[in-house]
Structure 1
């Protein structure tokens, strides 16, 4: 597609059910709003149901709210059970919600907050809903990562919960790297079924509430420079929307802004870090995530040769700037 991809390219979504986490504000709000305007039945899966209802009231179309706190596996299970009661199919699961650069604290289940919310909460939610998606041709799981997956990022299998030391930036990077590794491993396992695809996206550097936890030394300069360095949440949501709805999008693809260093611009396929494509680490993370959450996916383990390969270096490969 030579022209710039916008919401005008979203196909008719009537008859489709979309669940969007963190959809009461920012990127999630814009994602849900665009899907609803194209006819999808959209569920705003949000921690604060009151804020969700107010957000739903500002949208046009079939929009409902489901309480979901990704920092609580009990809440994830309750929300999944409620969605299973309400729907017999899900076409789109958009794993968008997240926290960024939080001070050191833990989830209800004792996980480091960023890893527990951004990765483990979405891992559990996806596993609990996936059997509603597998029978649906064209269904997709889209997980939102970040350019932060490149910044001081590694999966610290020897200290996943940052109990020995803590860096809010490195912990965020680990959680966003985990989002990508989960996507690639999920796609490997989905491939034999041929109905559901897993994709990832990142918003570039968007002006959202995520930056509220940045240290003051970084927050003030970024606030001053925001008009030059960031794009709106509506633009930041486009990579997610393209991954979710573009008929040409393929399982295992990663979408981000097409501008210089993937900071801003219209969405296109991009590549992630070499670390994110390491199959052995992906599968180890999957096994650890199953153990930590107690959620088992209705999918067989993959064949080794089904692993999505790391693409060759391409223009725009390296992201930069403060992640959103």
Structure 2
């Protein structure tokens, strides 16, 4: 019997690398992966590519059209999965927005930057989880994952701020220096949301995690070149970490923010 995994935003970046990592590590148990994507065309291209990269896999991939910014899309995705199975074993909330660079370029307003980031990273993720929870709690070995960021630690940010050099820039406006203010705030909110789901679903046996994959060179925010120039790792590192969590290798860290080496501060 296959382990059933639903992954949002799975046609690119860390989501794609998660699919690949699952296919590469399916010897003990195959996976049935619902590859979540907003565009079926892009999803089909991703499925074709990953199956070419991992030939001979015992796992299968179903395309799942889902846009977490749309309640109707989430409901349709739930109906599609429910027709195929009576449970899922893992929900990987990977889809996300990072619009701070677009705001800095004047491509959208500050309010739209905040609202759109929160809509996808927090509101949409919560609606996705709420909608799929009935399938998740039916699993005998369920795991719920939320993709967060090392930038979202309130403790680390406060400690670095007080320990670092004092700001020197005066006047207004301030220079945008690549600090993703709204993105950081949404992921901090997501960590609190994870804690809420952890305590809510713990009686049902669901193990819940926030995943901090580290600074990786994804297309998020359309600043991939900037990330590479500043030492970002390959997105496959994130996929490998998520695979380990889905496989149960980090179960002792349920209810915490998980990174490659241990736990991260809230």
Q: Which has the higher helix share?
A: 2
C-alpha distance in 2 between matches for 1:82 and 1:222: 36
Runs (4+) of structure 1 exceeding 6 A deviation are 151-154
Residues 248 and 268 from structure 1, CA distance in 2 versus in 1: closer, same or farther, beyond 3 angstroms? Answer: same
Aligned position for 1:140: 143
Contact 2:21-2:240 within 8 A present in 1 as well: no
Aligned position for 1:236: 238
Distance apart, 1:27 and its partner CA: 0.5
Q: Residue 188 of structure 2: which of 177, 183, 197 is its match? A: 177
Distance apart, 1:135 and its partner CA: 2.2
Ranges in structure 2 where 5+ consecutive residues have no aligned partner? 52-58, 159-175
TM-score by length of 2: 0.77
**How many residues are treated as equivalent by the alignment?**
228
Contact 2:20-2:239 within 8 A present in 1 as well: no
Tell me, yes or no, if structure 1 residue 55 matches structure 2 residue 41. Answer: no
Question: Larger relative CO (CA 8 A, sep 6+): 1 or 2?
Answer: 2
State how 1:1-324 maps to structure 2 within 5 Å.
15-37=2-24, 38=26, 39-60=30-51, 61-100=59-98, 101=100, 102-103=102-103, 104=108, 112-150=115-153, 169-193=180-204, 195-212=205-222, 214=223, 222-223=227-228, 225-226=229-230, 229-250=231-252, 251-256=254-259, 267-273=260-266
C-alpha distance in 2 between matches for 1:62 and 1:220: 33
Taking only aligned residues, the RMSD between alpha carbons, in angstroms, comes to 2.8
C-alpha distance in 1 between matches for 2:64 and 2:137: 22
Aligned position for 1:161: none
Residues 93 and 220 from structure 1, CA distance in 2 versus in 1: closer, same or farther, beyond 3 angstroms? Answer: closer
Residues 73 and 268 from structure 1, CA distance in 2 versus in 1: closer, same or farther, beyond 3 angstroms? Answer: same
Contact 2:150-2:264 within 8 A present in 1 as well: no
C-alpha distance in 2 between matches for 1:232 and 1:244: 20
Distance apart, 1:255 and its partner CA: 1.4
Report SS of the residue matched to 1:59: helix
C-alpha distance in 2 between matches for 1:34 and 1:184: 26
C-alpha distance in 1 between matches for 2:124 and 2:19: 19
TM-score by length of 1: 0.64
Deviation digits for residues 91-140 of structure 1, max 9, x if unmatched?
Answer: 0100011111243469xxxx811110111111111111111111212110
